Amino acid sequence: MRTTLALLALGATALALPAAASAAPCDEACLLKLADQTMVALARQDWKSLPWADPVGYSENGVRLMIGDAGWGSAGATVGKKAFAAADARTGNVVWIGTMYDHDAPAFGGVRIKAPEGKIQEIELIVARKGLPMLFGDPLAFTIDKSFAKPLAAADKRSRERLIDVANAYLGTKQRNNGTLLTQFTPGCEFKENGLSLTAGTTGPGALAKGCEAQLQLGAYQPIDRIRDRRFPVVDEATGLVVAISLQDMPQREASFTTTDGRKVSTLDTTPMSQIHLELIRVEGDKVARSEGVTVAQPLNMPSPWKE
């Protein structure tokens, strides 16, 4: 269900809506500014100050909600600290990632906004709060590697379509990971979730092997049974950036799995779940160089509200 402004006005005596925006395309600078404005509005719990399309779609952690619900009421007064933002005028999407707050409690946050003409048509919040069965670092120290904003050498640039192909192949390699690589990885490749390194850390895949390729060849991500409802809302050919949003299902039917070298390994968490992943993927040439982002646990096989 999509929220209409008429529904938002129910129960309000005098709902003052922002002045109508022009129908001119919202370019990259416009989208990035709108993302910053949205984070300020969240901290002030003031959704009325933003320019909305009619109707508008809104979700938080995979659940369709009304504008004004959930994070709009629980956000703390501190404006979220931006770690990274990127916009794609071709799709009309902007993604903001950084530290968000529930009252005074910091969390890992990702926000996707679609506003091709400057009015918000879609807004998707992904907020990883402490206490759920997932990796969780220090949200106050959350940073994104600077390489995501670094322009590629001319020889390493690829078309938008090719970048999506490589990102998709990376997700396919992680799904039912059996040691077969469907794409290539740079020697210094690193995966990070919620501020913690999977490839250089000491828990989960990091306890089995170091580095993206070594872990995937070992089958360290076998508990991920399916990666579905994949979306790529932002692509930047100049930096090799692909923003991927997906649902990753882990039924956890067994409490352990066997790696390709014959080791029996206990599953890090045996809770059946799906996880929403918002990943920044950097592609250099035809190789994946990094993946960093925000991950949130939710019930197993929960459907996506944004399935195309």
> Does residue 296 register a pLDDT over 50?
yes
Report the DSSP pairing between strands 52-60 and 120-128. Answer: parallel
Per-residue model confidence as pLDDT tens digits over 72-86: 999 989 999 999 999
User: Going along 91-223, which residue ranges are E strands?
Assistant: 93-102, 105-114, 120-128, 184-193, 196-197
Q: Residues 207-238, buried b or exposed e (16+ Cβ, 10 A)?
A: ebbebbbebbbbbbbbbbbebbbbbbbbbbbe
Domains and their CATH numbers in the chain? 5-129 (3.10.450.50), 146-298 (3.10.450.50)
pLDDT confidence band for 13 (50 / 70 / 90): very low
Per-residue model confidence as pLDDT tens digits over 168-194: 999 999 999 999 999 999 999 999 999
pTM for this model (two decimals)? 0.92
> Does residue 231 register a pLDDT over 60?
yes
> Does residue 4 register a pLDDT over 90?
no
Asked if 295 contacts 134 with a C-beta cutoff of 8 angstroms, the reply is yes
What is the overall mean pLDDT for the chain? 92
Report residue 174: phi and psi, to 5°.
Answer: -75, -30
User: How many angstroms separate the CA atoms of 232 and 278, rounded?
Assistant: 10
Q: Which two tokens stand for residue 306?
A: 């944004």
> Does residue 15 register a pLDDT over 70?
no
Asked if 97 contacts 280 with a C-beta cutoff of 8 angstroms, the reply is yes
Asked if 243 contacts 95 with a C-beta cutoff of 8 angstroms, the reply is yes
Residue 56 pairs in a beta bridge with 3
SS3 140: helix
